[in-house]
Amino acid sequence: MPNRANLCLIGFMGSGKTTVGQLLAQKLGWKFSDSDREVELLTGLTIPVLFAYYGEPYFRFLETVVLRDLTARRAHVIATGGGAVLTPANRELLKGSGPVIWLRASPEEIYARTQTSHGRPLLETVARRERIAELLAAREEAYASLCDFALDVGALTPDEVVMRILSWLNGRKRAGKEGVTGCC
């Protein structure tokens, strides 16, 4: 039986999952975990090194291993890697763990947020804008079908995103819908 005791943040890289997740966990008095960071801690390697030496399939395998552990916990805000939704097992783990919130951003917003950042193997190309649009289009259906709540984050500060998520959670609680136990 799913424990539905966590909050899971999905969305493309650069959409703010880690920043928002940390703030949200702080407001809820919960723990925060970033699945990419957990993969790095598990292996002792950075994501770019894992991709370079072992490839994306091995990284996705490790991502599932980490998500199995994270989704079994309680009172956690979990920020996933941008491509975590591509793996069916990950989608099942996230859906069973708690409400799934999609931090949605346009390709232009993502480009602006990631144009100077390194360490994003799937964006290490001279055609970064085109790559973002391509990857986002390939993932959008998975994001949409998995999420319980989608929030456009482009014009919002991280604090505003957190407040909107908390408001949505409170609305669910008032409506008596299944949600996060002990939140808000």
Domains and CATH numbers, the chain: 7-174 (3.40.50.300)
* H/E element, 112: helix 107-114
Does residue 133 contact residue 30 with C-beta atoms inside 8 Å? no
Residue 163 in tokens:
């407040």
Per-residue pLDDT of the chain (184 residues; tens, 9 = 90+): 234 589 999 999 889 999 999 999 999 999 999 999 999 999 999 988 998 899 989 999 999 999 999 999 999 999 999 999 999 999 999 999 999 999 999 988 988 877 766 666 555 666 778 888 888 999 999 999 999 999 999 889 999 999 999 999 988 777 766 555 444 3
In 3D space, the residue among 83, 82, 85, 81 whose CA is nearest the CA of residue 94 turns out to be 85
d(CA 122, CA 113): 15
CA 10-32-61 angle, 5° bins: 55
Residue 102 in tokens:
């999609």
The structure's pTM equals 0.88
